[in-house]
Amino acid sequence: MLFSELGLSAELLRAIEKQGYQEATPIQQQAIPLILEGHDLLAGAQTGTGKTAGFTLPLLQRLQFTAPQGNKRIRALILVPTRELAAQVAESVSDYGRYLPFTSAVIFGGVSINPQISKLRRGVDIVIATPGRLLDHMERGTIRLDQVETLVLDEADRMLDMGFIRDIRKVLNAIPSGRQSLLFSATFSKDIKQLANELLNAPMEIQVARQNTTAEQISQVVHPVDRNRKRELLSHMIGAGNWRQVLVFTRTKHLANRLAKQLEQDGLSAAAIHGNKSQGARTRALADFKKGDVRVLVATDIAARGLDIEQLPHVVNFELPNVPEDYVHRIGRTGRAGLEGEAVSLVCIDEKKLLADIEKLLRTSIEKVIIPGYEPDASIKAVPIKNGGGNNNRGRNSRPNNRGRNSSAPNNRGRNNSTQAGRGRNQGQRSRRAA
C-alpha cells in the first residue's frame, strides 16, 4: 500500500517523498488510519519495521488539523527509554514535519539541562523525552504537560525493563485524562498488558508479526567457540570477510571497553558505546560508525533499541544476552526496512542455557557452524554466568533499577522494608541519570 492511500496530508506526503519512501510497511498501514481516527492503540511489530513513522506521521497530521488549546503549549509527548532512541525519534519528527509549522524539543540526561530549559521556555508543540530527565523538568517546574493531546510510549517494554514504571505513572498523573494514548512495543508481556490497561482507553490492538520473531531477511548463525578465543575469532571473521561495518554486543560495559581496545590492537578501528559513556562520547562514536570512520562499534544492550543505522550489514553477539527477548532487539539492528542482514553469535559452553532460551523464544533452532581452526575444546567446563552487578546483566526475573514495580508486580519481597525501599530509590536515581 502506498502512503498516498492512507489519508495523509499533502505536506506529509511531500516530506515522505523527500525521504525517498513510497510504500508503507505493514505496521504503518494498520496504525496510521487508526491513529488518524483518534483511537488509542496498542501496537506491536518486529524492530526495524517502521514503528516510528507509524506514530509520527498521524500524530503530526492530528496536530495539523486540530486547533491548539493554548499559546505554544506542549501538545504531544513521546516517551522513549534511551538517549539514542530519543534522538532518532526527534530526527523523524523533524524530517516528517519539515513542511509543517510545529516546533519540537528532545530532552534527555547526560547533557546540560539549561539549553533544554531555554527551548521549553520559548514554547514547543512536541516533546520527545526519556522519563528521568522529563521528571527532572517537572520537578523544576520548567515543563507543563496539562494540555498534552497525544501521549506515545515507544519501546514500552524496554522502559519497564529499565525500571521506569514509577516515572511513567507520575507523567500520566500530569497530563489530561482525555488524551489519545499510543503504546508501541517490539514485544508484549504481562507487564505491558497491565500498563496498557492503565494507560489506554478502549484501545485498538495490532500485531503485525508473531511476538518475539525476527525479520525473515536476517540470516542467523551460531559459531561455537571457547570463551578465551572469541576475540580472536571475531577479528578473523571481520578481516577474512572484509566486513566494513559491524555492531558487536557484549553483556557488560567493562567488556565493551576492553574488547574495543583489543580490536584496535588488532588493527580494526573500534569504539565502545554504553551507559557510562558521556552523551558527547556516545554521539561521536555513533556518528563515526555511521560515516565509516569506525569499523566496529561495541555496545551493551542500551544500544539494542535506540540505534537506527541504515543498511547495517552485520550484528555480532560477542556474548548472548541474559534475557532472550534482547536477542531479538539486538539483531533487529540489521535487516531494517526490508534489507538483508547477518546476525552472528559467538557461543561458548557457558552460554548453552542462554542459547536454549533464545531458541525456545524463537520457536526454532539456529544453525550452528564451527569455524575450522576454532573448534571448541571439549575438556573446558562451563562457568556460571553472573547476573546483575550493575553491568546490564539482566536476568529474566532480576531487573536492575527496578523502581516502582512494587505497585504493579506481585510477590515483591521487601514491600514494607525501609532498607529495600531506600535501595530502590538509589537505583532509581542511577537509572534516571543513565537515560
Evaluate if residue 211 carries a pLDDT over 80.
Answer: no
| CATH number belonging to the domain at 218-368, selected among 3.40.50.300, 3.40.50.880, 3.30.460.20, 3.40.50.2300 | 3.40.50.300
What's the rounded Cα separation, in Å, for the pair 40 and 204?
6
Kindly indicate whether the domain formed by 3-207 is annotated with CATH number 2.10.240.10.
no
Please name every residue paired with 182 in a beta bridge, in sequence order, or none if there are none.
41, 152
Model confidence pLDDT, tens digit, residues 298-307: 999 876 556 6
The half-sphere exposure of 184 on its side-chain side, counting CA atoms within 13 A, is 30
CB 133, CB 432: distance < 8 Å: yes
Model confidence pLDDT, tens digit, residues 373-429: 999 999 999 998 876 433 333 333 333 333 333 333 333 333 333 333 333 434 444
Beta carbons within 10 angstroms of residue 269's beta carbon: 15
Model confidence pLDDT, tens digit, residues 150-178: 999 998 888 887 888 889 999 999 999 88
Cell 555511521 identifies what position? 290
Q: How far is residue 303 from each of residues 67, 269, 425, measured CA to CA in Å? A: 37, 19, 25
CB 77, CB 170: distance < 8 Å: no
What's the rounded Cα separation, in Å, for the pair 53 and 56?
5
Give residue 276's pLDDT: 82
What's the rounded Cα separation, in Å, for the pair 217 and 271?
27
Evaluate if residue 331 carries a pLDDT over 50.
Answer: yes
**Domains in the chain: boundaries:** 3-207, 218-368
In our burial notation (b when 16+ CB lie closer than 10 A, e otherwise), range 304-320 reads bbbbbbeebbbbbbbbb
The Cα angle at residue 27 between residues 21 and 29, in degrees rounded to 5: 65
What's the rounded Cα separation, in Å, for the pair 118 and 79?
20
What's the rounded Cα separation, in Å, for the pair 116 and 241?
44
Q: Say how far residue 175 (Cα) sits from the centre of its chain.
A: 24
